[in-house]
Chains A and B, each alone.
Chain A
C-alpha cells in the first residue's frame, strides 16, 4: 500500500501524519518527507503511526536512520499511537529505546519538555 504523509506544526515540533505502509517500496517518500522537516530546523518530530498498517525490516531501518539524523542536529523523534501489530514488530527490535512511543500528542510534547 502506498504511503501518504502530511505535516502539521505543533508547539516546539512537527507532527507527521502517516497513512499506508512503512516499507521498502515507500522508503524514498518517507525519507524525503522527514528530511524536509529536519532541514527546516525542526527539533522534535512526532510520527503519527495510527494509520500505518505495516512496517517491514527496511521500515525499521529507516526509523533508526531518522532517529540518528535528528540526534545529529540536536533534535529528537517520538512516535504516536502505533497499531498493535506495528507495536509488536517495534518491541521485538526494542525500537522504543530509540524512539519513545506515546498514546497521545500531549504526552509526546510533554516528553520533549521533560527531555529539554
Chain B
C-alpha cells in the first residue's frame, strides 16, 4: 500500500476529488495517484456523467479533461457557473497543450486552474492541495453566510414579535365612551419605529388621548414605548402626576424619561377631551401630529414648537385649550404617515394630508382613516412604509 498518503487531521472524512475524463487509462491512472495521496476519488467518463456526479456527491475539487465527446471541459465549466447550487465548485482543468490562449479561454469559461497532462507527481500534488485550500475557504464563507442568514431570520422574527406586542397594547376601533367613536390604523414598519397610541378613560365624559414616538428603530424603541405607555395608564398618572392636565402630564413625563445614553428620546402629543364642557386641551413635546377637522370643514393643526421629552429637565409644558362641537373630528397621527417620499424623493407632507382629510368631508370616519392611509400608499407607490404609521381618528357625537 502507498506510503505517500496525506493526513487530514482536521477532517474526519477524506476529501473528495471528482475526476472527469473520457480516456479510461488516463482517468484510472490519475484516480490511483489521488487515492495514494489519501483522497476519496469519484470517476466519470464524460461531461454529462460528471455533472450528475458533481450534483450528487459535491466533491471538494473536480479535475476535468478538456477534450471530451458530447460535453467538453469548458462547456462543463459554463454549466457549473450558471447553476446557483454548483457555482462555487473548484475546477482544475487538464490539458495536453498548455497554450496561453487556450488557458485564457478555459479560465474565461469558468475553470479555476490548470494542470498539464505532463505534470509531475509533485506538481499534481501541489495543484490539488492549492485547489483544496480554496475549496476550504469557500466552504467556510458559505457556512458563515448561512449562519448570518439564520441569525438575520431570528432577528426579523424578534422584530415581528415585538411589533405584535406593541399592537397588543393598541386599542381596537369602536365606541370608546357613549358618543365618541374611534377608528385607528396601525402599520408598523419592517424596522419597527416605536410608535404607540392609546386612550386614557378618566370617566365617561373625560378622555385622555395620546400618540407617542420613540426615536430610533428596532426592538429597543418598541420596549421604551411600551414602558412609556405603562406610565401613561390611568392609575399610574393618578399616582405620578395627580392630574389629567396634558401639560402637567408631559412636564412629569419629561422628568421620568430623560435622554438615553445614545441620545434617544420620545416625542408625544397628549390631548384631553372634556365632553361636558366641550373643550379639547392638548400639549405637545416635539410632536406635531394632531389635526382637528371641524364640522364646518376647516382644519387646524394642534402643534406649537416644543422640546421633545428628555431634552431639558426644567421644561414646563403648558396645555392649550380649544372649543369642540358636535361632529368635530380629531386625528392623532405619526409623522411616518406624511413623511413618505414619492419615487422622486418628494415627501407627501402635512399640506397634502390635510387636503386629503378635508376632501373626504363628512364621509364615515372609517372611510377617512383607511382612505388617508391608501392615499399615502398611492403617493409612495408601494405598500411598505419606511417608518411606523399610526392614525387614530375620533368623532364626537355628543
Contacts and interface: CB of A to CB of B under 8 A. Distances in A.
Interface of A: 24, 27, 57-58, 60-62, 64-65, 68, 91-95, 97-98
Given A57-B215, A58-B216, A94 B305 contact: yes
B312 A93 contact: no
B201 interface: no
Contacts of A27: 262-263
B263 A65 contact: yes
B308 A93 contact: yes
Contacts, number: 56
Interface of B: 215-217, 259, 262-265, 267, 286, 288, 305-308, 310-312
B182 to A, nearest CB: 27
Contacts of A24: 216-217
Given A65-B262, A94-B286, 16 more contacts: A24-B217, A27-B262, A60-B286, A61-B262, A61-B263, A61-B265, A64-B307, A64-B308, A68-B259, A92-B286, A93-B286, A94-B306, A94-B307, A95-B311, A97-B312, A98-B312
A58 B263 contact: yes
A13 B324 CA distance: 52
Contact of A64 (B216, B217, B259, B305): B259
B259 A65 contact: yes
Contacts of A92: 286, 288, 305
A91 to B, nearest CB: 6
A91 B216 CA distance: 20
Contacts of B305: 91-94
Contact of B311 (A57, A58, A64, A91): A64
Contacts of A58: 215-216, 263-264
Q: Which of A61, A65, A95 has the most CB of B within 10 A?
A: A61
Top 9 closest pairs, chain A to chain B, by CB:
A61-B263, A65-B263, A64-B311, A94-B305, A62-B263, A93-B286, A57-B215, A94-B307, A61-B265
